[in-house]
Structure 1
Amino acid sequence: MNYRHSFHAGNFADLVKHAGLLGLLRALAPRGPLTVVDTHAGAGLYDLDGDASRSKEAEAGVLRLMQADALPGPLAQLQAAVRALNPDGRTRWYPGSPRLVAAAPGVARYVGFELNPPVAEALTEALADFPMATAEAGDGYAAAPTVCQAPGLLLIDPPFERPDDYLRAVDCAAETRRLRPGVVVAIWTPLKDLETFDGFLRGLAKAGLADVLVVEARLRPLTNPMKMNGCTLTLIGAPATLEPELQAVTDWVVDTLGDPGGRARVWRP
């Protein structure tokens, strides 16, 4: 799967991922100053008048969010963050996870890794206003386990352009939890077909990773494995108190943006 994020910024998967991330950070804040490490940080800030205007996915994502009222807490947080970037009222700029994390209360340090040099340069620029945030050019899979600190969060959000992304995501999560048991892990994945995702879950179990929570937003039946039919955010070590809030997020996304036959659930394998 080729997932160039500038084309897909602000789509339904971003809403699930970023609302889930904001809810998780709020739930973890009482544990103390947080260190957040991002293995695939991306550019950090996206111009919806650029590449995203060609895919038009933001029209069925963040633009619908910006018109909504009475949102679940994490989606309301995301809506407020987008409004803050667009004071003229027109939704042009969309924040990636680096900007959202760097601006979140309770985060003392953010480290975002990016391998693509032009994207890494854009990430550095996007984080310029946040002295506690660092952009690193490098392999986040390899570096993250030793950079992570507890209390903290590891976000694994690869583009799934490589056939080993699922395997490396599992290995990175397992090594991080081995070295830093107090670090919570969040892994975003596309949902194209059940066999691929089931294989990913089997990999987590084989690696000895427990306390797994799956946030699943399935926008359409899984009948076409060539399409991104939904997405998941798989959490390891997340507070159980977060589950109702995450369920409300997935319910809104599927009910508002999905097709008949969609499915929203938060569950434990």
Structure 2
Amino acid sequence: MNYRHAFHAGNHADVLKHVVLLAQLDALLRKDSPFFVLDTHAGRGRYLLQGEAAGRTREAVGGILALAGRKDAPPAVARYLHAVAANNPVDTLLAYPGSPLLAAQAMREQDRLAACELQPEEAAELKALFAHDNRVAVHARDGYDAVRALLPPRVDGVRYARGLVLVDPPYEAQDEEYPKVAAAVREVLQRWPQGGVAIWYPVKQRRSLQPFFRKLAGLDARSVLLAELMVRPDDSPLRLNGSGMALVNPPWKLDEAIAPALAYLQKHLGEAGASTRLEWLRRDDG
């Protein structure tokens, strides 16, 4: 595996993913009972925006750096911007928090996070980041295998009825990855039906997504919601034109929370021909 997220940290795809992730975590925080988060492809947890990798691609310029400091953002985006700013000096953006760090900073003392990372160097950095946080367990292992090993979640004798599984693989070979993702989601639903699943996916070739969406719609789930941000027209397979989050059993009214966020991100991150999508593949109105 050659993928390193440091080259893409803070880009438009990260912005979408983390706005939606924090909205989901905030929904979990509305109840006092503890929750559990499994991050299957966690990365190193924190990325330097001025580092060699991020500085070379400068993808953050079309992502977090285009939004930082804005005061007109809708609640879900403002929440995200506040979380990113909390990892940096005042009025400066030096570092970008990855999904496990954003999750850990949102959690309470009773909540738990299992963060999985297969690449040795990334896993070592992740372990160092959370070395003194007893709420977080870092696993240097395959995230798909962790679904079978760690669910249903039980930590220190406590069973966690509520929570979220974040599936965010690198998609180096997209056609090979989607069946793995669908199988993992099916496993989550069988082992932990109360849990939700959030899947990030790239949009490069739309046709490759259709079989994946059909599989998600056919799962034994209460609901499946798609939230997409296209920063340019879907007309080239050679670049990341946009990305989406497929949300299986999302929290109640999450679509209403992220709808204004999508419109805002399209306006401030999109080029000519940018668009958004918020669509239910399956919905339980009961």
Smaller-chain TM-score bracket: over 0.9
Distance 1:127 1:94, change over 3 A: same
Q: Does 1:52 align with 2:54?
A: yes
Q: Which amino acid aligns with 1:251?
A: A
Match of 1:216 among 207, 228, 232: 228
Distance 2:77 2:56 in 1: 25
CA contact (8 A) 2:203 2:244 kept: yes
1:156 corresponds to = 167
Distance 1:91 1:53 in 2: 13
2:112 corresponds to = 109
Q: CA deviation at 1:101?
A: 0.4
SS at match of 1:94: strand
Q: CA deviation at 1:152?
A: 0.8
SS at match of 2:111: strand
Distance 1:158 1:210 in 2: 24
Q: Runs ≥4 in structure 1, deviation > 4 angstroms?
A: none
Q: Does 1:255 align with 2:267?
A: yes
CA contact (8 A) 1:98 1:127 kept: no
SS at match of 1:10: coil
CA contact (8 A) 2:221 2:249 kept: no
Distance 1:78 1:131 in 2: 24
SS at match of 2:27: helix
Distance 1:254 1:182 in 2: 32
Distance 1:197 1:209, change over 3 A: farther
SS at match of 1:252: helix
Higher mean displacement: 3-12 or 161-170: 161-170
Which runs of structure 2 are paired with 1:203-242 in the superposition (5 Å)? 203-242=215-254
CA contact (8 A) 2:36 2:113 kept: yes
Q: CA deviation at 1:140?
A: 0.7
Q: Which amino acid aligns with 1:71?
A: A
Distance 1:256 1:44 in 2: 26
CA RMSD of aligned residues (A): 1.7
Distance 2:92 2:143 in 1: 34
Match of 2:207 among 189, 195, 199: 195
SS at match of 1:144: helix
Q: Can you give the 5+ residue segments of structure 1 that lack an aligned partner in the other structure?
A: none
Q: Which amino acid aligns with 1:21?
A: L
Q: Normalised by the size of structure 1, how large is the TM-score?
A: 0.94
CA contact (8 A) 1:44 1:127 kept: no
Which runs of structure 2 are paired with 1:72-151 in the superposition (5 Å)? 72-106=74-108, 108-148=111-151, 149=153, 150-151=161-162
Q: Which amino acid aligns with 1:177?
A: L
Q: CA deviation at 1:3?
A: 4.6
User: What is the percent sequence identity of the aligned residues?
Assistant: 37
CA contact (8 A) 2:165 2:197 kept: yes
CA contact (8 A) 1:218 1:262 kept: yes
Q: Can you give the 5+ residue segments of structure 2 that lack an aligned partner in the other structure?
A: 154-160, 282-286
Q: Normalised by the size of structure 2, how large is the TM-score?
A: 0.89
**Count of residue correspondences:** 269
Q: CA deviation at 1:202?
A: 1.4
2:156 corresponds to = none
SS at match of 1:172: helix
SS at match of 1:20: helix
CA contact (8 A) 1:36 1:154 kept: yes
Q: CA deviation at 1:69?
A: 1.4
Q: CA deviation at 1:72?
A: 1.8
Q: CA deviation at 1:130?
A: 2.4
SS at match of 1:35: strand
